[in-house]
Every structure is written in C-alpha cells, then in structure tokens.
A and B are shown apart, each in its own frame.
Chain A
C-alpha cells in the first residue's frame, strides 16, 4: 500500500493512500469535530457525507475549506484544523445550524445526550449571531419512533443507517433548500413507510429529532395501581449495556443490580426474557429438526433453510421486502412474546390471578419490540400478552426518577419460575447467539449424543455475513448468519438466486445483534462499544451452571405441567405465529 506524508497542525502524519484527513488527524491526536459523519468501517459502510461542513479544514493551496470527512490526504498536503479562518467558519456554520433549531434543550428528550448541544458547549457558543425564521414540520408518532423534525439538522445519519446499512429505504431527503428535511416518501407518516422500527436512526440521531415513544409513565402508573400485579422481563442484551447509562464502561455486566433496581421500582415479579429464549429454542430447535428430518427423508417442498424469527425488525423487513419467502422463517414467536403468552396463562393460573389484572412489562434493547407487542395477533380479546415494552434507556430513566443510586445496589437474583435461564438464553443478545443456542440443543436432540464442547465458536464473530458448517455426527449442517438488514438482504438474495444453500439462518436487524439495538444507550455507530457488550454476553454465558436450553429445569416443568411437548397443539396456539404480506405501499399521494 502506497504511503502518503502530510502535516496536520504542524504534526507529520504518514497514512495509506485513500485515507481521509479526518482519519489521518485522529492518528496524531487531533479530533476534528463532526456532525454528519459516522465511522461505520467495521460495519462495512464507507461514510463520506460532507454535508454538515463542521469538519472543514484549511488545506494550503486550496481556494476554499475542505471537509475533512470527505477529502482524501495527498502527498505533501499541509492541513490546518484550527486556524482563525477555520474556527470562524466552523463556529459560524454551527451558529447557522443552531439558528434553525429549537432552543428548548431543558425539556428535550436528548438533553444531556445531544451531540449538537455538546458541540455548542465545546465551541463556546454564547450567542447566535444569525437569527431568523425556523423551519417547522408536523410531528410523526409511530408505535416505536417519534419524529420531531423541527429538531432535525439534516445531518442525515439516519439515512445512512436506514438506506446504506439497513437497505430499508424508509427515509430520505424531501423538499429542497431551507425546507429540506428527512422524511418518508411524500412526507407521509413512518407507519405508512417500509420502516421496520429497528431504531438505528434513533441510535445515531445527534439531536432530539428522532426518539423512542416513551412508555415510562404507563409503567409508573401500572406500578402504582394496587389492583395490578406487574411482571417485568429483561432481555439478554440489556444487562450488558444498562451500566453505561450510569457511567460504567461499555461491556460492564450489571445483571444483579438491574434485578435489585427493578424490585425496588416495585415490580411484583422480576423475571428474565432469557427464560423465554430457552423456550424459543425448544420450539424453534424442534421445528428445525422436524423440517430437517422430513427433508432428509426425501420429502419435497420442505421449507428450508429455516430462518430465525426472534427479531421483530427482521420480521417487519421480510414481510415488506420478501413476502414471497414468508413460509421459510420459523413460526416461533419471539422470546418477548412467548414470555407474555406464558405469563398470562401458565403463570397467571399459578398465582391465581386474572389475565386482566396482570401487567407484563418488557425491558428491551429494541424499539421494534414496542411495535411487536402492539400487533393484533399477540393479544387475547384486546388484552395484549405484553402490555408495555420499554427500552434500556427508558429503564435507566425510570431508575433515576425513582431516586435509586444504581452504583450502590447489591446484586440479587431473578424470581422463579420464569427467571431461570441457561447460558444459551443469554447469548440471544448477540449476533450468532440464537443459532448457537439452537445448535446446542438441536445437536443433542438430533444425534442423541452429548456435545462436550458446549459452545460453537465457529458461529461467533462480528462480520456482517458469516457462514459455518456444523458436524451433526457426520451430517454437515450449513449455517448462515447476518446482522444488519442490508446483510440480511444479501443473504436472502443469495438464497433466491440459488447461489447459497443453508439449513438454518440467523438474522438480527441491528449491528452486532440486540447489543446494538435501537433502544440501547446510544452507540453512535462505534463498533468498539458493541464488541465490549458482546464480550460481556459471552462472559455471562460461560458463568452459567446450565448452558443448554433443554436442561433448564423450569422449562422442563413448563412442558410437563402445561404445554405437553414442543410444537404440541397448545404450544402452537400460544408460542407460534404467522406472517403477512406487507409489500403493498400504504403511501398515499395527496392532491393539494
């Protein structure tokens, strides 16, 4: 690789040809501020937006200032990132952006967590010299995401995630000039777009323009209602990220403290979604073996590969873009929904409480879960299996509002019976985890042998698309894994055109899987944060006494006492679902 020499702020830098000034500067400790840029190299997305013009620098011999995020280094280049000319231009551009942004920081959902706010602070903006008209747009409330576009600064990071990474294409620039804004086609509401509610737009939005629908007040009200028994379930990825909201390093596991905090908040039963993950493995693993056995017996028209169905954004994605393949995914409901379904039947009977008097709250790393629990097929006579789904961020807010000093909490354990889980349930939170969990069980059920090694390391990793072949006692089982819907799209297309053959595929919509979910403390596209969370998840798995779902004794008890066996009629009724063709657009072109 050709190396290039240049100087930035009088520091000599040597970089590979093709490196941007922004990246070269970071190598020598110069942090050029950015707003629209996202470093997504680890996720396989090149990002050279050059839109906000905050990162402009002076390049000797060049007429105008150059955007550091989009300008490649050249031999002998002399760059100044902090000259008078640059500082004045950068501050003026920032003031322009602020002049078209509401100044209601104190009551904004992003207060204290806003890139624009901290940039104004860093640059010492004390006055906005250019005031004028501000742009106004209607607010858009979807089941998961709120769009308050008055706060949009047109950095278009959301578009980068939605279009380049996820290939969902729900968002793009509409109108032009001062009226330009990011919106679904024809400025319709998000619910009418192909949005999957994955929430990656929210995860990268630098301002309060995109936020989650806040359900914390409903939860507080339910907890205060003496007639209700309130049950909480926590998804596996939450414990690996919640600590970040309280100043912990990414990758700090806070499972025990989280349980204590939830109990202190007043939940009657603190359960674990991981229990339902084990249940999912029993159903999905059995379904896999069933399809596999029928296929091996020469039966034609067996729907293979089987695709995982735990991720609600992924479900929305294939219902929208690949409806013709909707017989392939497993019919197993997601762990969140299995939990709700069992909680409001099996557990309700156990504590002799009526369904209507139970409130099931889920803590999820995800915004699509809010949409999922509102789907009609997951309610009985209008009473949803899961009443409220709140994000990791919302849980952190609840804990703070309840005056709980999180750092000083003692650890405690989940309640039983729905708080017990195997290590297999824990790894649902990361890419590769669901299929590894399924393999741990499927291997032993299929080969009738013990898998001594327990884990399947070949399924782990961070590459967007991964493949592995597992040896099921002489039978090669081909596994595909994708995280990010753009990668999922590639994998599905390779199945459609016959270039790839798999027995089973795991798909998670978010970068790194649920650990990088849209409801987690903001990852800002930084893969180092995601990798730390992934490591924490595997650490919790290793530490568990039980590592395989079928060895969870509370799961065994659930089948003995209530469900019968996996894929029984009762299990079908309570734990499985069906999918819809949503490819038709709901976008309506209005005539003014």
Chain B
C-alpha cells in the first residue's frame, strides 16, 4: 500500500556516504539532464510529470521553474525551503537526514533549468543532525565535482550554501523566508512581485520545498510518464505524511495520491489506540481543517481535501478519538498561530489573538450563543484580509470544527458542558455516596485539600477548591468518584 518515491533511499543508505548514495543512482539524473537535455526540455519533462509543490500550496513545480527561467537576470537563485514548522510534522527532516544528496542533486537540476549558479538551503537551526548531514553531503559533492565548476564537463557551475532560520513558522512563506535570508526581519511581503521575478537580493529566485525536490531526480530517471501514472486526476505521485495522535502506528508514511483516509488510518496506521472510536483527523497542520467519519473514503489529493474543507499542507496528520474536544483542538491550533504570526498585518496579529480568546472563553463555559456569529465573522474577515497564507488559513481549524462539530460548540455555549470531558472548567469531580466507603484514600491524595470526610463516612469534594487534577478518581478503588 505504501510506495516510496521521496523516501526511496531513507534507511537504505548511509546518509554520510556519497558512495552509498551514488550506488542508488544519486546524481545520475543530474548527469542525464546536463548531458542530454536543454533547460527547456528538462522543464517540459517536469511539467509533464504533473509534480505539484509538496510544501502546502500545490503549485505546479514545472510551471514555477518555467516562469523563473524566463526572467532574465545576471544572477538567479535556487532556494530549498527546509523551514518545516507544522506541529508534529517531520517529513522534510527525515529526507534531509536520510538522503541529503537527493536534495542537492535536484537543486542543481533546478539551477541548470532556470539559469542559476547559486543554491541556498534555508533550514531551521533546530535541525542540527540534518544540518550536519547536509554539510557533509555538500563537502562530498564538491570533492566529487558534483557541485562547483563545470559539472559533468557541461560548463554548468552550481554551488550550494546553508542559511539558518531561527524557528519561525512564518518563514516557511517564501517571501518571509527570503527576507530572513537577507538578514531582514522574517516577514512576508505582498505578491506580486513573486520571487521568480524579484526574490533573494532582488534577483529571480525559485523556492521549492524539500519533499518536492526529493521527487525530482527519480522523475528524470524513470520518466514523466511513470510519475504521471501514479496518483489521481490533478495530483500525481505520492505524498509523505506524518501520522500522529491517537493512532497505533505513529510515524512517517508515503502513499500514492488517491489513497483513502480509511486506508491510511485503519490499515497503515493500525487504527485508534485502545480500540476507541475515531472522531476526526486534522490534515494540513494549523492551516488545514478537520475531517470526520464521512470523509474517510475520499481519495486523498490536493483538490479533494480542499473540497472537504481542509488542505494537503505539508503532510501533518493528527488523529483524534472520542475523548478529544474539538473546540479545544481548534484552540490548540490558534494558540500556535497566535505564537507564530509575525505581527505585520492587523487581522493576523490581533484577529488570531481575539479568535483564541473567544475559544478560550467558550472552553471555560463563559460564552454565549451570540459568540458563534461573531466567531464566524471574525474567522472570515481574518481569512479575507490577511497578508499571507498564515493568516489566510489560520481560522480554518475553527471553521471546519464549527461545520463538522456544531453540536459541540452548542454544548459548550448553552449547556456549559464539554461532551468529551476535556475542558476542565466545565467538569466537576463528584463522589457517589452509594459507592463511597470512607477509606480516606482520596482525601490523602488530593493536593489541595478539597476532599473532606471522616473515616468510614461518606466523603465530599469542595468544587470551589478542586483543581480537577483527577488524582482522586485514579486513587479510588471503589469507582465512587466520577466526572459530571
């Protein structure tokens, strides 16, 4: 069921050995392109393959290269976006740590196609092992003449340098990434101009994500038709996902486009932990939305996910079970976007903060039904007016949970109840007088002294003092304590 294209070498080679990589065809595609193909022909093959950007946007990669190739300049740049930042996602990191040469090779092909002699990898400094392996790979490639002057005697020069990011999610947005590399504050700017026209240092620049690059050498070796044959209508090839959450088998998977969520979660992922009930899966990270039971049989591709109210994103997939509160889940993602907004545009800077605050109010049982209208209006305005993709998508987790789990919002707002029992402010621990034997165990374990009662008499919990840590429930051997 799984098919390794981007991850084809991960785990099969010593990532610190260029010979290992070459033994599995590294740089063969570069040789083929440099020796046999003109840049325009090479771009045409990529276009025919149907590869779309794996960083989240899904823009056709060949078309992107073509635009950059047509902008004349004395210097152009190729940039690899390795600023992976979705919570729980580590696709790019695994590729860089497991098969760094494939990224270098693809960047060189990219440079040849658009007429760039310099490549830059923007990588977050929190990935020390990936950085180390890239450094080794670049050194080895230079020693072998696979980077540097006159590669394969073709007259093509290309070299790669690393640039470190300080872990800002917004720097995954290409204009912010470029500003960060220039030493400026990592903030997006309005497009157009697109980087293909005016990018790094004002020169035409092509930015692609790590996973996109990892697909490219194999496309040239096996052909555009081969790649095109994998996947669905407008989504070709495979996609790497990072499976996480309440699922038995967590980790990276790579499946052909068109695989269903059911296959991913229940077959590859081995189903939900402890046999609990599947509730939802968040795809597309903080920009995406949640998908439910009714979406399980939809083939995963760019367009289907958008139609279902979510998005491909870079490939994070977080599975939730019946114990997860969807309002809290939306709040978790908003907490992330509030933290990661750069602060440049007002709707993202203040709007996300207000969205978070409204969700927080709801999870504390302090909201009213009118909040729902205000919440939806603000979500739509933030999406409609924000400067970059971060703010344009950050309300998605709220909107999709409001659409798919409307009754949970209503329960929080009008019944002051959290159906999943996750919102602490909406629950109370109570002692069932029928079962309590007065053993005093709960009172002794309570860290705040909220439980009173004489030995062998029925105990009670003072809800005003109780911090809802759940220690008493765990301690009670008589099933006398429960959440109401």
Contacts and interface: CB of A to CB of B under 8 A. Distances in A.
Interface of A: 48, 50-54, 56, 64-65, 67, 70-72, 85, 88-89, 92-93, 96-97, 99-100, 129-130, 132-133, 153-154, 172-173, 175-180
A177 B347 contact: no
Contacts of B346: 51-54, 93, 96-97, 153-154
A176 B385 contact: no
Given A48-B190, A97-B350, A176-B342, 13 more contacts: A50-B190, A50-B387, A64-B384, A65-B384, A67-B190, A67-B387, A92-B381, A130-B374, A153-B346, A173-B185, A178-B350, A180-B343, A180-B344
Nearest to B385: A53
For the complex of A and B, 7 pairs with smallest distance between CB atoms: A180-B343, A177-B341, A70-B190, A96-B350, A50-B190, A132-B357, A92-B381
A100 B354 CA distance: 10
Most buried by B among A70, A99, A130: A130
Contacts of A100: 350, 353
A153 B351 CA distance: 13
B54 interface: no
Contact of A93 (B170, B347, B353): B347
The B interface is mostly helix, strand or loop, or mixed, namely: helix
A99 B354 contact: yes
Contacts of B345: 50-53
Interface string B310-351: 000000000000000000000000000011111111110111
B399 to A, nearest CB: 14
B187 interface: yes
A92 B342 CA distance: 20
Contacts of B352: 177-178
Interface string B241-262: 0000000000000000000000
A52 B351 CA distance: 12
B347 A96 contact: yes
Interface in B341-388: 341-347, 349-354, 357-358, 374, 377-378, 381, 383-387
Given A51-B346, A53-B347, A96-B346, A178 B185 contact: no
A376 to B, nearest CB: 36
A92 B381 CA distance: 7
Contact of B344 (A51, A72, A97, A133): A51
Contacts of B192: 72
A178 B349 contact: yes
B373 to A, nearest CB: 10
Interface size class of B (residues with CB under 8 A): 35 or more
Contact of B353 (A85, A88, A129, A133): A133
B168 interface: yes
A64 B392 contact: yes
A154 B344 contact: yes
A176 B190 contact: no
Contact of A172 (B168, B185, B342, B358): B185
Contact of A133 (B339, B357, B377): B357
Contacts of A65: 384-385
A56 B392 CA distance: 14
A53 B343 contact: no
16 contacts: A54-B346, A56-B384, A64-B385, A67-B190, A67-B387, A72-B192, A89-B385, A93-B346, A96-B347, A97-B350, A99-B354, A130-B358, A130-B374, A132-B353, A177-B349, A178-B352
B404 interface: no
Nearest to A90: B385
Nearest to A159: B185
Contacts of A70: 190
A173 to B, nearest CB: 5
B241 to A, nearest CB: 26
A176 B343 contact: yes
Contacts of A89: 381, 384-385
Given A92-B377, A130-B378, A154 B349 contact: yes
B482 interface: no
Contact of A177 (B343, B378, B384): B343
Interface string B372-414: 0010011001011111000010000000000000000000000
B189 interface: yes
A172 B347 CA distance: 20
Contacts of A153: 346
Contact of A88 (B351, B354, B377, B387): B377
A53 B386 contact: yes
A182 to B, nearest CB: 10
